[in-house]
Chains A and B, each alone.
Chain A
């Protein structure tokens, strides 16, 4: 029991603490690919540190919803981190929420972000909220369909059970999982506000989505939001690894496998982050009304994957 709780706390803290590092790695890779020197992998930590030290400036008419929303977003993302198995499947809290609840948690965080963006009543805030909800309401069904494919293979919607089932039995090639993996990569790009759907580095009014929502935030609130989005990226990476590359994740109670699992995880994340940077460098940002086509493709791929399972 105590070891389970320890494993739970360890994995959750691991994601929370190392999430900015992954973001820093992605940014650094992107800088290298663009022939730039880059700010170093630790830059996100420096930004967070700076933001936490500043005085918060709040718009005159901001309501308490606006002030609580960053905390809610952060708490939701940490809770997701406590459900996704990264190193070991020994997660007692995972029984409280399965993949459907996981999607619900993402939606909860997003809804508060969108409402907070509309709270001040600026043109950019509500535009960002609308676009974010549009992208999300198309990405969410795709995400659920993607998650259902391994869920049907493992006969379970619990992430830990899925990982146990996929990682610890004889290797079977599921074509439907390949479809789901491609769809997942597309959805993950959209949900994490990456190119080609959104650009995390832009403040150009015509193109920004996520950034438009958080324009009015500053200091500790902004720090929490930035940290939460870093954790979100790590969570998505962890989900992707758990579903499509689960080999190496230690099963419950197997403490000897943990060091190896950690090493494997770091390799996967290093490669995954570099891949993300490559993908972002190679593609261009889509017009906002092309985003539905992009997500529609992901949705169709996911549904196809599920149908192939039934064949």
Chain B
């Protein structure tokens, strides 16, 4: 039995400690906003926050989560999150949208530590998140837009 705190709620999960957090979230806790893309931490679709820091859920063993607070796209909140989601909607960033939960979680992570990121900062923080629809130009613009709205 592994104890996990997801979006503020505590869950006891009957699962192997080796099971990736991604599959526990999706298949056991019905938190399907976190996406499966590659399973090898190449695409970032599964990005969640562990104690506020972006992490790839597909490479996070639930046995290693410990007391960390897990936040998923369904539970993310606060000023930065609202600014990021608002900018994404204002600029209509999404196309298929499948990667965008992960993109948004990475962008919130970036802006939480760096309120005025440069293009190079954005490259550094976002290069691990693949968008096959190619919405990168709008993701970049939305991060700048969110930064402006937070200033």
Partners in one complex: no
